[in-house]
Amino acid sequence: MSDELRGQARLFDALTTKGTAFTIEERRKLGLLGLLPTVVKTLGEQAEHIWHEFSSRHDDLDKHIYLRALQDRNETLFYRVLREHIPETLPIIYTPTVGEACQRFGEIYRRPRGLFVSYADRDCLGEVIGNRPQRDVDVIVVTDGQRILGLGDQGIGGMGIPIGKLSLYSLIGGIDPARTLPIVLDVGTDNVELLDDPHYLGWRHRRIDDEDYYAFIDKFVAAVHEQLPNVLLQWEDFATAHALPILARYRDKLLTFNDDIQGTAAVALGALHGAATAAGRPLSQQQVVMLGAGSAGIGVLDMIRQQMVTEGLSEKAALERIWVVDVVGLLTDDRTDLSAAQRAFAQPAGRVAGWGLSGAAQLADVVHQVDVGVLLGLSTAAGAFTEDIVREMAGKTARPIIFPLSNPTSRAEARPAELDQWTQGRALIATGSPFGPLLRKGVEQPVAQCNNVYIFPAMGLAVTAAQATRVTDEMMRVAAATLGDASPALADPDQPLLPAWTDVPDVAVRIAHAVAAQAVADGVAPKRTNDELAQRITQVRWIPEYPATPA
């Protein structure tokens, strides 16, 4: 295949090109003599040059476009640059910059990547999937663009998310970029601005209704499963109303998971492990409040509930410690507007009857009435964790655990510096978006970011190496526990709750080992010893190095 490419075809094949790093011998062998400048550079020298160019760009979106253009022309060099500069490039290729890239997708579009699966092509989805750029695929990330980060319906612009996610699968998890496939399901958009935008590149229709939608999803899944029966299919940024039903529909039939529901839950639980240890109070002894009752919030709470039970509580006792507030107010069992998943976390109305409220209890009411130790936000309600609420919470516990987890940065429930100030530096903080370090006693302290990149690349590596056929709840819980065990806060309560970005690839390998072993234990992967799984992980893990050209 690629080894047979010669001349310009080889030079411009992003997956196998070496650019100016082709040796003189390779240039003669591959018909490249005269097509490149005379100097032969090393991959390291190329990466240094790229970093200089990248650093000269001051606008984050411009940096994003620059890196995407690099990826389009030389994947190995792209990942080498990213690997050498993970803390600096992660916010550029993913949150928060990817949000703006999705909003301006039509404006900054340069060349296609992945598959655009349109409802207009619903009768020939087999042909669409058959036209994928690469035959062999290990991981697909798919979105329908309806709930991009905290930005809402971005239609076909949501393609920026699968592209960004898969870049992290390769960078952190070592999934070969030649074996990844980003997909956007173009089922219309209800974003009127996009429909009226002459630059919009998607199907110019309102979103299809649920009957047509689920039929289309079924067709899509069938086409993928027929041609790629062993692929990991990750669902990303689907609206709450669709995310949970889709996961429930396919999780026992395919190798699949929803990162917003399960990945977010796993990384949050991993951070909570370090926070609870630093606070000196196990999760099962905490009262937990969640602002936000979407699929991500419910997914986090479900894993917290499971953890509380693991720590010894009954199911009923665990649920009594979990309080959920949405746009209406506290979830209580007398409300008629709750989904089945939300209803599982509704408090008995009688528990709040004595609070003396004229309407539904709000976040401030819950914090006032309950001995809250953990405050989580997945609401996209910017500034919802007010000074009054935080100060009242901090008056009840020595080490308040506060996680404003909404994305992007502009939608965070509070800023870490505010939380630090309002709690006199006592808060244990993790965020959903990247924030600058806190300054405590003249020393900069990084703020842990509950970025799903701690979890999903490791899951991809684990299931690929173990040849798993399903993603089980136990596999996700093991991933969270292994991440929690890597928390710097376990050794020093003043350290961040999650590992530094530079350590994430190594942590991903540890998580992959644990998850692969759990897949075997759960009976969803072939029997292998731990040593055999370690060998498999080493074998399949891709690193950004130029291969030697065969003689």
Residue 215 one-letter amino acid: A
- Enumerate residues 6+ apart whose C-beta is below 8 A from 148: 99, 102, 154, 157, 158, 160, 161, 237
- Enumerate residues 6+ apart whose C-beta is below 8 A from 358: none
Task: Say how many C-beta atoms besides its own lie within 10 A of residue 339's C-beta.
Answer: 14
Nearest Cα to 366, choosing from 345, 339, 341, 344?
Answer: 345
214 a catalytic residue: no
CA distance 247 to 517: 23
E strands, 378-500, are 401-404, 428-431, 438-440, 443-445, 448-449
Binding site per annotation, positions for a divalent metal cation: 236-237, 260
Phi then psi for residue 538, to 5 deg, are -65, -40
For residues 166 and 182, is the Cβ–Cβ distance under 8 A? yes
- Cα torsion through 333, 336, 341, 346, rounded to 10: -20
Q: Tell me which H or E stretch contains 11.
A: helix 7-11
Binding site per annotation, positions: 147, 236-237, 260, 407, 451
The one catalytic residue in 18, 63, 119, 165 is: 165
Question: How would you list the strands of the sheet with 139-143, edge to edge?
Answer: 115-118, 180-186, 139-143, 232-235, 256-258
Binding site per annotation, positions for (S)-malate: 147, 407, 451
165 a catalytic residue: yes
- Tokens standing for residue 51: 């970093």
- Enumerate residues 6+ apart whose C-beta is below 8 A from 196: none
The one catalytic residue in 18, 63, 79, 94 is: 94
Residues designated catalytic: 94, 165
